[in-house]
Amino acid sequence: MGRGFFYIVTHMSDKSSLKEELIEGNIREYGYSYDSLTFPSAEQAEAFTAERDGLLRWLSNRAEFGCKGTKVDCRDLSPGCRACMDGSWSCLFINGRCNCDCFYCPSPQDQTGAPQTNGIPFASADDYADYLFALNFSGASLSGGEPLLTPERTLEYLTAIRKRCGDGTHIWLYTNGTLLTAETCRRLRDAGLDEIRFDIGATRYNLKKLRVAVGIIPTVTVEIPAVPEDFALMKEKLREMADAGVNHLNLHQLRLTPHNFKNLSNRGYTFVHGEKVTVLESELAALRLVRHALENRIALPVNYCSFPYKRRFQRAANRKRAALLAGSGHEESTESGYLRSLSVSGAPSLVAGLCTTLAAAPDSDGLWEMEPGGEGVIFSPRLWPLLRGVTEIVSVNYHEAALVSGFSTSSSQREIHLASGRRIAVVRQPVSGPLELGPEEVEAIMRGDEESMPREIRQYERIEAGLAEYY
């Protein structure tokens, strides 16, 4: 995404019905507690949106917007963030226990448990390293909880990753820093750690332990939520971080969860509906900090990583990775990571004629197949130009692929075999029944014309652009 370009909100024609669905989902999640949350009135939403628009206009000429306008500023990101944007990052939760009690923490941190990623447990460090290698990840992070509560486990996994994946994989560690020592830093570096990321919000923005890592770990990053009431303090800390040798600052948006509900709902925040409930003032604080750093030429790259980015792009990356292993020749992966195929059903004579046409086409092998029973033909969208004259209804089909632990007898499954003999299954399931399309709608899919796609398929085709609307 080039400098000077940004998105706000798309798909305005479907906005009302989508809003209703999201609100209903948020009400279901929080039940009776939902009524205690403060959402903006129409007038407040308009005023807040105008303020954000002004910030984005100012930033559009000075910052780089990435991932369809959901990340600001992308000019100088850490290699880890680049791997995330490329969809090639795996985060291993090395434990689920923490020694701090941040009010914004989204989940309980009171169980050590087995390390896991995307719900897949990895009790063996070598198995996790094999998993990374098999799926060609370019970035891997160790998170928690607090990884330094289990230092030997953390070092074991770090060592295994570096040994199996080599120097081409960027490895970083998330920590609150409270347990960090110079000796621990050296052990982490010698085991292959490229980057360390501090949540200094856990220590009231104290940089003492962060300074211990500078000069030992190659890249030192601060990654924190933008807490609205700490905005003035954060402005002061920007230059202090730059002077201390911090290489990057990543700002996140506060998100409401059932775990932190009591803490966040008592702080006077304005909440925003969306795929999940977020804090409006947190986003504005993050954008103001990006602007402040640029206005004052502070030598610290500041990046705002919005919740829409995390929700949309990181989830799409997981789907795309599994889709590479689960897809058939007649399917293509969409921008949002779903597997798509087209089909035409009809009389036996029609089906036979379509099969003859497709079989005669050059380079069509593996890109189509007859449906069981001979009632239709499933084909790759790449073959659509051959069938544009078909007058029968065309259906589009979407499947989602996922990586799961263990073995299943599903015929639609493939497997990743790890050195220990363990298997990670790649499974797929339909996410929609066949959706009937007219020729113009099929053409819209082929062109990637988002605005002309029916809403019921757009969610499977495209990643929504822009930051969340305020309402």
pLDDT for 12: 45
Q: Please, are residues 190 and 159 in contact by the beta-carbon 8 Å criterion?
A: no
DSSP codes of every residue in 188-256 = HHHHT--EEEE-GGGGTT--HHHHHHBTTBSEEEEEEE--GGGHHHHHHHHHHHHHHT--EEEEE--B-
The pair of three-digit structure tokens given for residue 383, joined into one six-digit string = 């073959």
Q: Is residue 449 reached through a cis peptide bond, with omega within 30 degrees of 0 on the bond before it?
A: no
* CA angle at 421 for the pair 419 and 425, rounded to the nearest 5°: 100
Residues contacting residue 114 through CB under 8 Å, at least 6 positions apart: 121, 122, 123
Give the 3-state secondary structure of residue 135: coil
The pair of three-digit structure tokens given for residue 209, joined into one six-digit string = 């332990």
Q: Please, are residues 231 and 283 in contact by the beta-carbon 8 Å criterion?
A: no
Q: Please, are residues 130 and 423 in contact by the beta-carbon 8 Å criterion?
A: no
pLDDT for 460: 95
pLDDT for 433: 85
- Strands 219-225 and 248-252 turn out to be parallel
Q: Which long-range contacts (CB under 8 A, 24 or more apart) does 443-446 make?
A: 445/340, 445/381, 445/396, 446/381, 446/384
CA 312 and chain centroid, separation: 5
Residue type, 119: G
Phi, psi of 313 (to 5 degrees): -80, -40
Distance CA 395, CA 428 (A): 19
Per-position pLDDT tens, the chain of length 471: 333 334 444 444 466 788 999 999 999 999 999 999 999 999 999 999 999 999 999 999 999 999 999 999 999 999 999 999 999 999 999 999 999 999 999 999 888 889 999 999 999 999 999 999 999 999 999 999 999 999 999 999 999 999 999 999 999 999 999 999 999 999 999 999 999 999 999 999 999 999 999 999 999 999 999 999 999 999 999 999 999 999 999 999 999 999 999 999 999 999 999 999 999 999 999 999 999 999 999 999 999 999 999 999 999 999 999 999 988 889 999 999 999 999 998 888 889 999 999 999 999 999 999 988 888 999 998 898 888 877 778 999 999 999 998 765 554 568 888 988 899 999 999 998 899 988 888 889 888 888 888 888 999 999 999 999 999
Closest CA to 226 of 253, 257, 264: 253
- Strands 339-345 and 96-97 turn out to be unpaired
The pair of three-digit structure tokens given for residue 116, joined into one six-digit string = 């896991």
**Residue ranges of domains in the chain, CATH in brackets:** 12-305 (3.20.20.70), 328-449 (no CATH)
Closest CA to 241 of 274, 279, 213: 213
Phi, psi of 146 (to 5 degrees): -120, 110
Neighbours of 349 (CB within 10 A): 8
Residue type, 332: E
Helix (H) / strand (E) element for 128: namely helix 125-134
Question: What single-letter DSSP state applies at residue 468?
Answer: P
Question: What is the longest distance spanned by two Cα atoms in the chain?
Answer: 77
Residues contacting residue 365 through CB under 8 Å, at least 6 positions apart: 329
Residue type, 170: H
pLDDT for 333: 94
pLDDT for 1: 35
The pair of three-digit structure tokens given for residue 432, joined into one six-digit string = 């929609």
